[in-house]
């Protein structure tokens, strides 16, 4: 799934629904702002119509997504009821397909057979880590082998597969996260999401943090780690569709996140560091008093960095008077040229 074909997603949240475990980092209500309950058919229809009206007629590919819980961990009647309501919009031609997120250990032939009569195209798995010790410390209740088996079953049925991983989990470190990234890349999913671990109020991790038993990753270290994972996945032809938690009113409240590398523009910080690295690499062999950097117009802000951070760093590091960023439509989006 390339960025060009990125769908317009209509999210229907099922906070912690169908989850047999409570992971140490989890507080789904804080993340989604939703109470824990199965939405009624009327609520689902209202939610979907609201998003369709917002997007208008000139929308790209549209998918209805069931997020925030363990979809295939729900009772079979609930699974069918939710899919039935969503499928109505596909039948009418207003939506292309359905997607959902679930746990790797919820994937088996019996549950996947339920999906046959519904237009489900994309399934995301909350992998989090491929290190069994890290998974155990996080109380995930599944293993890396479960993930491998789940991906194999989904590939046999030709689903579009997304894998979600987390960095900064208890017992993990940068080397461990990169090792997990390599093992995830070897599974060749269609896309991945990378989330930093933050300390949410009301979670087990919050208790550990208050007792000094857990120390979250500093923001800068986390950005660099996620950058390296992004480059790893890109090298393997795997699309990274999200880096960092989705900003929301709930998360932006100071009382929700107690600590950790949360930033509402986390992905932008990662991209900015990538462009800074490229510029530094080129400038190591150049000695200019004034620098002109040409980038695709879409990437001007990435090259500048948040609050012109990259410009300031380049001036200090290379002792230059001025750094000019020039838009150049002829350059590909990940390219830059320096004069």
Residue 202 shares a structural domain with residue 286: no
* CA-wise closest residue to 38 among 73, 88, 63: 73
Residue 250 shares a structural domain with residue 285: no
Looking at 264, 293, 312, the residue that finishes a domain is 264
Element (H, E) at 276: helix 266-283
Range of the domain at 139: 3-264
Residue 259 shares a structural domain with residue 282: no
Looking at 264, 284, 310, the residue that finishes a domain is 264
Query: Exposure of 246 by Cβ count < 10 A (0-12 exposed, 13-18 middle, 19+ buried)?
Result: middle
Q: Is 171 left (phi over 0), alpha (psi -120 to 50) or beta?
A: left
Task: Tell me what percent of the residues of the chain surpass a pLDDT of 90.
Answer: 80
**CA distances in angstroms from 301 to 41, 277, 296, listed in the order given:** 42, 15, 10
How many CB atoms sit inside 10 A of residue 220's CB? 11
Residue 107 shares a structural domain with residue 8: yes
Nearest-angstrom CA–CA distance, 275 and 177? 22
Nearest-angstrom CA–CA distance, 249 and 149? 37
- Number of domains comprising the chain: 2
pLDDT of amino acid 287: 77
Tokens coding 30: 């804080």
pLDDT of amino acid 3: 43
> Taking 90 as the threshold, does the pLDDT of residue 285 lie above it?
no
Nearest-angstrom CA–CA distance, 21 and 19? 5
Position with higher pLDDT, 64 vs 58: 64
Residue 312 shares a structural domain with residue 257: no
Number of H helices, E strands in the chain: 12, 12
Tokens coding 235: 């090298």
Q: What are phi and psi of 102, to 5 degrees?
A: -155, 175
> Taking 80 as the threshold, does the pLDDT of residue 4 lie above it?
no
Q: What is the dihedral of CA 164, 167, 171, 177, to 10 degrees?
A: 80
pLDDT range class, residue 75, cuts 50, 70, 90? very high
Residue 193 shares a structural domain with residue 320: no
Residue 257 shares a structural domain with residue 294: no
- 124 in helix, strand or coil? strand
Residue 19 shares a structural domain with residue 151: yes
**CA distances in angstroms from 218 to 26, 85, 174, 179, listed in the order given:** 19, 43, 12, 20
- Mean pLDDT of the region 164-177: 98
- Mean pLDDT of the region 190-202: 96
pLDDT range class, residue 7, cuts 50, 70, 90? confident
Q: 27-41, 115-129, 152-166, 255-269: lowest mean pLDDT where?
A: 27-41
Nearest-angstrom CA–CA distance, 39 and 46? 10
3-state secondary structure 291-312: EEEEECHHHHHHHHCHHHHHHH
**CA distances in angstroms from 226 to 112, 167, 171, 229, listed in the order given:** 32, 8, 17, 5
Q: Is 189 left (phi over 0), alpha (psi -120 to 50) or beta?
A: beta
pLDDT of amino acid 38: 86
Residue 307 shares a structural domain with residue 205: no
- E runs forming strands in the chain: 8-13, 62-67, 97-102, 120-128, 160-167, 191-196, 199-200, 239-243, 257-259, 290-295, 322-327, 336-338
Domain CATH code at residue 17: 3.20.20.70
Residue 188 shares a structural domain with residue 299: no
Residue 43 shares a structural domain with residue 19: yes
Looking at 213, 239, 264, the residue that finishes a domain is 264
Those residues whose C-beta lies under 8 Å from the C-beta of residue 77, and which sit 6 or more positions away, are none
Task: Tell me what percent of the residues of the chain surpass a pLDDT of 70.
Answer: 91
> Taking 60 as the threshold, does the pLDDT of residue 1 lie above it?
no
Residue 235 shares a structural domain with residue 305: no
């Amino acid at each position: 799934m390339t960025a060009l074909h990125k769908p317009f997603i209509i999210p229907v949240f099922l906070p912690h629904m169908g989850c047999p475990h409570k992971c140490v980092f989890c507080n789904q209500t804080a993340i989604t702002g939703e109470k824990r309950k199965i939405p009624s058919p009327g609520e689902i229809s209202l939610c979907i119509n609201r998003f369709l009206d917002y997007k208008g007629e000139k929308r790209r590919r549209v998918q209805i997504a069931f997020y925030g819980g363990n979809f295939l961990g729900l009772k079979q009647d609930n699974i069918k009821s939710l899919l039935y309501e969503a499928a109505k919009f596909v039948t009418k031609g207003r939506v292309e397909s359905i997607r959902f997120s679930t746990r790797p250990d919820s994937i088996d032939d019996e549950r996947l057979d339920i999906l046959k009569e519904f237009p489900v195209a994309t399934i995301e798995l909350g992998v989090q880590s491929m290190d069994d010790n890290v998974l155990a410390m996080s109380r995930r209740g599944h293993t890396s082998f479960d993930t491998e088996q789940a991906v194999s079953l989904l590939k046999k049925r030709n689903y579009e597969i997304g894998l979600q991983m987390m960095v900064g989990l208890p017992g993990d470190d940068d080397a461990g996260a990169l090792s997990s990234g390599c093992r995830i890349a070897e599974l060749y999913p269609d896309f991945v999401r990378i989330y930093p671990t933050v300390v949410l109020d009301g979670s087990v991790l919050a208790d550990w943090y208050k007792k000094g038993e857990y120390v979250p990753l500093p923001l800068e270290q986390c950005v660099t780690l996620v950058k390296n994972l992004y480059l790893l996945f890109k090298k393997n032809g795997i699309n990274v569709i999200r880096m960092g938690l989705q900003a929301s009113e709930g998360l932006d409240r100071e009382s929700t996140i107690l600590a950790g590398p949360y930033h509402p523009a986390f992905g932008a910080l990662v991209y900015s560091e990538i462009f800074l690295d490229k510029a530094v690499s080129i400038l190591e062999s150049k000695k200019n008093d004034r620098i002109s950097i040409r980038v695709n117009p879409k990437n001007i802000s990435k090259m500048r960095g948040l609050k012109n951070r990259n410009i300031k760093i380049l001036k200090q590091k290379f002792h230059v008077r001025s750094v000019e960023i020039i838009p150049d439509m002829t350059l590909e989006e990940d390219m830059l040229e320096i004069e």
